[in-house]
Amino acid sequence: MSAEDLENYETDMELQLYREYRDVVGLFSYVVETERRFYLANHVDLQARSADGEVYFDLTLQDAWVWDVYRSARFVKNVRVITFKDVNVEELSKSDDLALPKDGPLGG
């Protein structure tokens, strides 16, 4: 396998992963980013903890999807992450939650 073949394979895998993400994102309520992974989840519990003067994060996700090209099964029932790095949790807005104002240049 040439370097070009390997690069094409990796590009195809990323594209497939993006398409899967696009297809499943509507099933989830939260986007979670850690230093190592990107998740979609329906339940998130994030606790800041302290041990020996160090602060760390204890993150538990339920009903999750993992952005990882090399995983054969991206849907997981439970995930637990312990990290000293930043964790970002965002609630996804449902499409029916967003509406343009009735008055104004964009409203009808």
pLDDT value for 101: 61
First to last CA, the chain: 56
Is residue 98 included in any domain, yes or no?
no
* pLDDT at residue 66, as a whole number: 97
How does pLDDT run across 56-86, given as a tens digit for each residue? 999 999 999 999 988 889 999 999 999 999 9
In a domain, 22, yes or no: yes
pLDDT higher than threshold 70 for residue 37: yes
Is residue 103 over pLDDT 80?
Answer: no
Give the number of domains in the chain: 1
The C-alpha atoms of residue 29 and residue 33 are separated, in whole angstroms, by 14
Q: Is 24 helix (H, G, I), strand (E, B) or coil?
A: helix
Confidence at residue 91, expressed as pLDDT on a 0 to 100 scale: 97
The answer to whether residue 31 sits within a structural domain is yes
**The overall pTM is greater than 0.85:** no
Of 26, 56, 48, 28, the closest CA to residue 40 belongs to 28
